[in-house]
Amino acid sequence: MTDRPARSDSLLREWTKALLIAITIWLVLRTFLVEAFRIPSGSMENTLLVGDFLFVNKALYGAEVPLAHRHLPAVREPRRGELVVFDSVEEPGRTLVKRLVGLPGDTLAMQHGTLIRDGRPVDEPYAVNVDPDRSESAENRDRMRAWQLPHVVGAGARSYRPDLNDWGPLVVPPDSLFFLGDNRDGSYDGRYWGFVPRGNVEGRPMFIYFSYEPDGWKAPSFFARVRWARIFSLPE
Protein backbone atom coordinates (compact mmCIF):
# COMPACT_ATOMS: atom_id res chain seq x y z
CA MET A 1 0.00 0.00 0.00
CA THR A 2 2.78 2.43 0.77
CA ASP A 3 4.48 1.88 -2.64
CA ARG A 4 1.55 3.16 -4.74
CA PRO A 5 1.81 6.90 -3.79
CA ALA A 6 5.60 6.80 -4.25
CA ARG A 7 5.16 5.09 -7.62
CA SER A 8 2.58 7.71 -8.66
CA ASP A 9 4.91 10.56 -7.61
CA SER A 10 7.74 9.01 -9.58
CA LEU A 11 5.54 8.64 -12.66
CA LEU A 12 4.40 12.26 -12.35
CA ARG A 13 8.00 13.44 -12.11
CA GLU A 14 8.94 11.44 -15.23
CA TRP A 15 6.01 12.87 -17.21
CA THR A 16 6.82 16.40 -16.01
CA LYS A 17 10.47 15.97 -17.00
CA ALA A 18 9.50 14.63 -20.43
CA LEU A 19 7.08 17.52 -20.97
CA LEU A 20 9.68 20.12 -19.97
CA ILE A 21 12.24 18.57 -22.30
CA ALA A 22 9.72 18.57 -25.16
CA ILE A 23 8.81 22.24 -24.53
CA THR A 24 12.51 23.19 -24.37
CA ILE A 25 13.26 21.43 -27.66
CA TRP A 26 10.24 23.09 -29.30
CA LEU A 27 11.33 26.54 -28.08
CA VAL A 28 14.89 26.02 -29.34
CA LEU A 29 13.65 24.84 -32.73
CA ARG A 30 11.17 27.72 -33.02
CA THR A 31 13.72 30.33 -31.95
CA PHE A 32 16.77 29.25 -33.90
CA LEU A 33 15.72 26.89 -36.70
CA VAL A 34 12.14 26.79 -37.99
CA GLU A 35 8.99 28.83 -37.33
CA ALA A 36 5.47 28.70 -38.77
CA PHE A 37 4.07 31.76 -40.58
CA ARG A 38 0.63 32.53 -42.02
CA ILE A 39 -0.05 34.78 -45.03
CA PRO A 40 -2.70 37.32 -43.93
CA SER A 41 -2.87 39.62 -46.99
CA GLY A 42 -2.70 39.61 -50.77
CA SER A 43 0.48 41.69 -51.08
CA MET A 44 2.46 38.71 -52.44
CA GLU A 45 -0.11 37.33 -54.89
CA ASN A 46 0.26 35.27 -56.97
CA THR A 47 3.38 33.85 -55.33
CA LEU A 48 1.80 33.57 -51.89
CA LEU A 49 -1.94 33.61 -51.25
CA VAL A 50 -4.07 34.56 -48.28
CA GLY A 51 -4.51 31.33 -46.35
CA ASP A 52 -1.05 29.90 -47.11
CA PHE A 53 0.84 28.54 -44.09
CA LEU A 54 4.64 28.42 -44.35
CA PHE A 55 7.60 27.06 -42.50
CA VAL A 56 10.39 29.65 -42.27
CA ASN A 57 14.09 28.78 -42.15
CA LYS A 58 15.48 31.02 -39.39
CA ALA A 59 19.02 29.61 -39.38
CA LEU A 60 19.86 30.55 -42.99
CA TYR A 61 20.33 34.29 -42.39
CA GLY A 62 21.31 33.98 -38.71
CA ALA A 63 18.60 33.59 -36.06
CA GLU A 64 18.19 36.31 -33.44
CA VAL A 65 19.16 35.48 -29.88
CA PRO A 66 16.23 36.47 -27.61
CA LEU A 67 16.82 39.45 -25.29
CA ALA A 68 20.42 39.82 -26.52
CA HIS A 69 19.58 41.80 -29.70
CA ARG A 70 22.25 39.80 -31.51
CA HIS A 71 22.15 37.24 -34.30
CA LEU A 72 23.86 33.91 -34.70
CA PRO A 73 26.29 33.61 -37.64
CA ALA A 74 24.44 33.36 -40.94
CA VAL A 75 24.85 30.42 -43.29
CA ARG A 76 24.78 33.04 -46.04
CA GLU A 77 23.48 36.53 -46.73
CA PRO A 78 20.10 37.29 -48.37
CA ARG A 79 20.19 37.47 -52.17
CA ARG A 80 18.33 39.64 -54.65
CA GLY A 81 15.05 38.13 -55.77
CA GLU A 82 14.55 35.97 -52.68
CA LEU A 83 11.46 35.90 -50.50
CA VAL A 84 12.44 37.10 -47.03
CA VAL A 85 10.59 37.22 -43.71
CA PHE A 86 11.44 40.24 -41.55
CA ASP A 87 10.24 42.44 -38.71
CA SER A 88 8.27 45.51 -39.77
CA VAL A 89 10.03 48.86 -39.44
CA GLU A 90 6.70 50.56 -38.77
CA GLU A 91 5.11 48.10 -36.36
CA PRO A 92 7.73 46.31 -34.21
CA GLY A 93 6.58 42.80 -33.46
CA ARG A 94 4.71 42.43 -36.73
CA THR A 95 6.28 40.01 -39.22
CA LEU A 96 6.17 40.55 -42.99
CA VAL A 97 7.22 38.61 -46.07
CA LYS A 98 8.26 40.44 -49.23
CA ARG A 99 10.58 40.13 -52.22
CA LEU A 100 14.15 41.39 -51.70
CA VAL A 101 14.98 43.66 -54.64
CA GLY A 102 17.80 45.83 -53.31
CA LEU A 103 21.07 45.19 -51.43
CA PRO A 104 23.44 47.79 -49.93
CA GLY A 105 24.97 49.92 -52.67
CA ASP A 106 22.31 49.10 -55.30
CA THR A 107 20.82 52.02 -57.21
CA LEU A 108 17.08 51.47 -57.57
CA ALA A 109 14.36 53.23 -59.51
CA MET A 110 10.94 52.49 -60.93
CA GLN A 111 9.73 53.80 -64.27
CA HIS A 112 6.11 53.24 -65.28
CA GLY A 113 5.97 50.20 -62.98
CA THR A 114 9.25 48.66 -64.21
CA LEU A 115 11.94 48.15 -61.57
CA ILE A 116 15.36 49.48 -62.59
CA ARG A 117 18.49 48.29 -60.79
CA ASP A 118 21.86 49.92 -61.50
CA GLY A 119 20.47 51.36 -64.72
CA ARG A 120 19.01 48.12 -66.11
CA PRO A 121 15.40 46.85 -66.09
CA VAL A 122 14.93 43.88 -63.78
CA ASP A 123 13.23 40.76 -65.16
CA GLU A 124 10.46 40.06 -62.64
CA PRO A 125 8.22 37.23 -63.91
CA TYR A 126 6.66 36.98 -60.44
CA ALA A 127 5.51 40.62 -60.30
CA VAL A 128 1.86 41.53 -60.91
CA ASN A 129 1.32 45.13 -62.01
CA VAL A 130 -1.84 45.53 -64.09
CA ASP A 131 -2.09 49.29 -63.43
CA PRO A 132 1.37 50.87 -63.92
CA ASP A 133 -0.26 54.29 -64.28
CA ARG A 134 -1.79 54.16 -60.82
CA SER A 135 -1.05 57.24 -58.74
CA GLU A 136 -1.04 57.51 -54.96
CA SER A 137 -2.75 60.17 -52.87
CA ALA A 138 -0.97 63.47 -52.35
CA GLU A 139 -0.44 62.57 -48.68
CA ASN A 140 1.28 59.29 -49.53
CA ARG A 141 3.39 60.90 -52.26
CA ASP A 142 4.62 63.45 -49.73
CA ARG A 143 5.40 60.62 -47.35
CA MET A 144 7.39 58.80 -50.05
CA ARG A 145 9.28 61.95 -50.89
CA ALA A 146 10.19 62.57 -47.24
CA TRP A 147 11.99 59.25 -46.71
CA GLN A 148 13.46 59.06 -50.22
CA LEU A 149 15.04 62.51 -50.46
CA PRO A 150 18.19 61.69 -48.41
CA HIS A 151 18.89 58.76 -50.74
CA VAL A 152 18.06 60.27 -54.14
CA VAL A 153 20.85 60.61 -56.70
CA GLY A 154 20.80 62.67 -59.88
CA ALA A 155 17.78 64.82 -59.03
CA GLY A 156 17.30 68.09 -57.22
CA ALA A 157 15.28 68.12 -54.03
CA ARG A 158 12.86 70.73 -55.29
CA SER A 159 11.99 68.90 -58.52
CA TYR A 160 11.79 65.39 -57.09
CA ARG A 161 8.20 64.14 -56.97
CA PRO A 162 7.97 60.34 -56.54
CA ASP A 163 4.84 58.28 -57.08
CA LEU A 164 3.91 54.66 -56.53
CA ASN A 165 5.22 53.38 -59.87
CA ASP A 166 7.67 56.17 -60.71
CA TRP A 167 10.46 57.01 -58.27
CA GLY A 168 14.22 57.10 -57.79
CA PRO A 169 16.98 56.57 -58.48
CA LEU A 170 17.83 55.80 -54.84
CA VAL A 171 20.98 54.24 -53.39
CA VAL A 172 20.41 51.53 -50.76
CA PRO A 173 22.45 52.53 -47.66
CA PRO A 174 24.87 50.20 -45.84
CA ASP A 175 23.42 47.38 -43.74
CA SER A 176 19.97 47.96 -45.27
CA LEU A 177 17.66 46.12 -47.66
CA PHE A 178 14.78 47.15 -49.91
CA PHE A 179 11.64 45.05 -50.33
CA LEU A 180 8.63 45.05 -52.65
CA GLY A 181 5.49 42.94 -52.72
CA ASP A 182 4.89 40.83 -55.83
CA ASN A 183 1.37 42.27 -56.11
CA ARG A 184 2.55 45.77 -56.99
CA ASP A 185 -1.02 47.10 -57.21
CA GLY A 186 -1.93 45.94 -53.70
CA SER A 187 1.23 45.86 -51.64
CA TYR A 188 2.12 48.13 -48.74
CA ASP A 189 5.89 47.78 -49.07
CA GLY A 190 9.21 49.62 -49.17
CA ARG A 191 7.83 52.27 -51.50
CA TYR A 192 5.88 53.62 -48.53
CA TRP A 193 8.15 53.00 -45.52
CA GLY A 194 11.65 52.76 -46.96
CA PHE A 195 14.62 50.55 -46.18
CA VAL A 196 14.77 47.66 -43.70
CA PRO A 197 17.81 47.19 -41.43
CA ARG A 198 19.64 43.89 -42.00
CA GLY A 199 19.08 43.08 -38.32
CA ASN A 200 15.31 42.90 -38.90
CA VAL A 201 15.64 39.85 -41.14
CA GLU A 202 14.18 36.67 -39.60
CA GLY A 203 14.44 34.03 -42.30
CA ARG A 204 13.38 32.62 -45.64
CA PRO A 205 10.19 30.67 -46.46
CA MET A 206 10.91 26.95 -46.89
CA PHE A 207 7.64 25.44 -48.13
CA ILE A 208 3.87 25.73 -47.81
CA TYR A 209 2.66 23.08 -45.36
CA PHE A 210 -1.04 23.98 -45.59
CA SER A 211 -3.28 26.24 -47.67
CA TYR A 212 -7.00 26.97 -47.72
CA GLU A 213 -9.40 29.46 -49.24
CA PRO A 214 -10.08 32.34 -46.79
CA ASP A 215 -13.33 32.93 -44.91
CA GLY A 216 -16.16 33.97 -47.16
CA TRP A 217 -15.19 31.56 -49.93
CA LYS A 218 -18.26 29.55 -50.85
CA ALA A 219 -17.43 25.85 -50.63
CA PRO A 220 -19.54 22.86 -49.61
CA SER A 221 -17.04 21.68 -46.98
CA PHE A 222 -13.75 22.40 -45.26
CA PHE A 223 -11.99 19.89 -47.52
CA ALA A 224 -13.26 21.73 -50.58
CA ARG A 225 -11.57 24.91 -49.28
CA VAL A 226 -8.17 23.25 -48.95
CA ARG A 227 -5.78 24.10 -51.80
CA TRP A 228 -4.33 20.61 -52.05
CA ALA A 229 -2.05 21.46 -54.96
CA ARG A 230 -0.22 24.12 -52.94
CA ILE A 231 0.64 21.87 -49.98
CA PHE A 232 4.40 21.14 -49.85
CA SER A 233 5.03 23.51 -52.78
CA LEU A 234 8.12 25.74 -52.68
CA PRO A 235 7.40 29.48 -53.02
CA GLU A 236 9.91 31.23 -55.25
Catalytic status, residue 17: no
Provide the 10 A C-beta neighbour count for residue 122.
16
d(CA 95, CA 85): 7
d(CA 132, CA 103): 24
Provide the 10 A C-beta neighbour count for residue 186.
14
Kindly name the residue from 8, 17, 41, 43 that is annotated as catalytic: 43
Catalytic status, residue 10: no
- Amino acid in position 194: G
Kindly name the residue from 17, 41, 88, 98 that is annotated as catalytic: 98
Residue length of the chain: 236
As a whole number of angstroms, the longest Cα–Cα distance in the chain is 91
Q: Catalytic residue positions?
A: 43, 98
